């Protein structure tokens, strides 16, 4: 059953000063509790991702990168302490700047920019009417109190920012990537220990997902230049690290408790059924914003950092995956621990995704998310993950009961139902959640421990590079002029 993340009812309450005309009032707005418009658009983003056909974690990560960046660049001038990061990451592209002598409603700029970008990135989903409806409802919250020229100026600014960022996005290598999820011209390499499609997996295709995604441009130049970590050397020697890492995957499945199974299913985020891992991370940003009552600009900065970090994580991860083409543990287990197929085919607890194993995409994007959220909200941040709160059940079924051999000491799990109604998962920190996400991939039989550990380490590097962009003015306050009388 697909995840249903419901857009919150648009609030009728709105602080009168949220769109005041003077520049001084704009600074005051930025120091106030976040207007729900930012999280409402994030909720819509996750909803569109969940329902999108051809949904993939790769394209979804790219989408939240550009949506988060757009949100930030449309509202940053509400703060006297923030600055644009776009010029630093885009090179020759330049964004418009607001007229300091004139009034803007930054919420309307955000509203227009998010609607523009979400429709541009997901035009193929036929969700324009849904997006337009949200833009209209949110727009009406502000326009009754504003003069027409302020409304028009604010919305034009938001759309202009979004339009330029979208034009820049077309040059990154991932534009309209949903049209080439499984390229038929992929050339398979030869050699031992290399990835082959799973017997039963998340995808019906036997081709790999987005094999050239690692060639895409990253948001952070530093992330595009990170050295590639090396996988363990393939070996069938029982004393080797490779052999024993795969053996741990085999043994771990035998000891799964119901709590372990619940953990695996919670973090599974199968893109064919849910908002995918990037959507999960974007929702964690929403939880941090709502829990802390972040300001409007900090909320936008949070979405930008998380979106860009997750997007870069998938580019970096895919570069490594398709450089080394490491097989999944299930293949090694089948060939070396079950060569006569006496168990039937050995299948992991969770369905395998259609791409190579090393290193873990779940781990790297979770670590990148944890790194930026920790920088923004601190090491000790208690929160409840509600991403799958409204998902009534997960039904996980292998296509044929013939795959199972009841009575064998390691029988296949053919069907599994997990009821999540009314339940969230509680964490003391963002890193605790990231580590659990990574561990879930070992428990699910998808990754070895080494692949998870490398993913966590690489994600931390990627997140730090996003944090190192100059988001804030240092010891400088942008001089705002009051509205001319």
pLDDT range class, residue 127, cuts 50, 70, 90: confident
| pLDDT-above-90 percentage for the chain | 75
- Look at residue 15 and tell me whether its pLDDT is greater than 50: no
Query: Cβ distance 322 to 209 under 8 Å?
Result: no
Mean pLDDT of 287-300: 96
For the chain, the average pLDDT equals 86
Question: Which tokens hold the place of 261?
Answer: 């199974």
pLDDT digits (tens, 9 = 90+) for 460-474: 999 999 999 999 997
| 281 vs 344, residue with greater confidence | 281
What pLDDT score was predicted for residue 401? Answer: 38
In sequence order, the β-bridge partners of residue 201 are: 352
- The rounded distance, in Å, linking the Cα atoms of 155 and 139 is 10
pLDDT digits (tens, 9 = 90+) for 157-180: 999 999 999 999 999 999 999 999
- Look at residue 234 and tell me whether its pLDDT is greater than 80: yes
What pLDDT score was predicted for residue 480? Answer: 42
- Look at residue 32 and tell me whether its pLDDT is greater than 50: no
- Look at residue 397 and tell me whether its pLDDT is greater than 90: no
- The rounded distance, in Å, linking the Cα atoms of 434 and 439 is 9
pTM above 0.85, yes or no: yes
Question: Which tokens hold the place of 430?
Answer: 């963002």
What pLDDT score was predicted for residue 340? Answer: 77
């Amino acid at each position: 059953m697909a995840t249903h993340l419901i857009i919150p009812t648009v609030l009728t309450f709105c602080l009168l000063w949220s769109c005041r005309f003077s520049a001084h009032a704009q600074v005051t707005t930025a120091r106030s509790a976040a207007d729900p418009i930012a999280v409402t658009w994030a909720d819509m983003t996750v909803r569109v991702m969940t329902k999108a056909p051809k949904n993939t974690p790769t394209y979804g990560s790219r989408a939240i990168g550009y949506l988060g960046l757009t949100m930030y660049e449309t509202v940053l001038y509400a703060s006297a302490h923030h600055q644009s990061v776009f010029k630093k990451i885009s090179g020759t592209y330049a964004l418009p700047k607001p007229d300091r002598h004139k009034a803007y409603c930054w919420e309307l700029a955000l509203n227009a920019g998010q609607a523009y970008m979400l429709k541009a990135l997901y035009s193929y989903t036929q969700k324009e009417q849904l997006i337009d409806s949200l833009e209209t409802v949110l727009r009406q919250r502000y326009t009754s109190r504003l003069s027409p020229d302020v409304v028009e100026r604010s919305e034009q600014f938001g759309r202009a920012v979004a339009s330029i960022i979208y034009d820049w996005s077309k040059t990154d290598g991932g534009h309209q990537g949903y049209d080439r999820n499984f390229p038929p011209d992929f050339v398979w390499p030869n050699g031992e220990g290399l990835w082959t499609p799973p017997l039963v997996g998340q995808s019906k295709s036997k081709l790999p997902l987005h094999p050239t995604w690692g060639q895409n441009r990253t948001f952070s130049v530093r992330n595009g230049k990170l050295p590639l970590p090396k996988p363990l050397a393939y070996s069938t020697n029982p004393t080797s690290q490779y052999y024993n890492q795969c053996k741990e995957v085999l043994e771990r499945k035998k000891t799964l408790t119901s709590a372990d199974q619940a953990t695996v299913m919670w973090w599974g985020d199968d893109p064919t059924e849910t908002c995918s891992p990037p959507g999960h991370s974007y929702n964690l940003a929403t939880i941090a914003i709502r829990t802390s009552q972040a300001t409007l600009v900090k909320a936008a900065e949070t979405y930008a950092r998380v979106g860009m970090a997750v997007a870069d994580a998938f580019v970096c991860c895919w570069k490594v995956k398709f450089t080394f083409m490491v097989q999944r543990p299930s293949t090694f287990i089948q060939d070396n621990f079950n060569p006569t197929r006496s168990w039937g085919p050995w299948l992991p607890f969770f369905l395998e995704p259609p791409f190579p194993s090393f290193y873990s995409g779940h781990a790297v994007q979770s670590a990148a998310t944890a790194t930026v959220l920790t920088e923004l909200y601190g090491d000790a941040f208690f929160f409840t993950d509600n991403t799958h709160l409204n998902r009534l059940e997960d039904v996980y079924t292998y296509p044929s009961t013939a795959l199972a051999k009841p009575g064998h000491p390691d029988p296949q799990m053919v069907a599994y139902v997990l009821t999540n109604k009314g339940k969230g998962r509680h964490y003391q920190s963002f890193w605790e959640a990231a580590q659990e996400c990574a561990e879930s991939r070992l428990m699910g039989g998808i990754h070895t421990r080494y692949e998870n550990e490398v993913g966590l380490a690489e994600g931390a590097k990627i997140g730090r590079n996003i944090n190192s962009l100059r988001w804030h003015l240092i010891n400088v306050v942008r001089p705002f002029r009051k509205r001319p009388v």
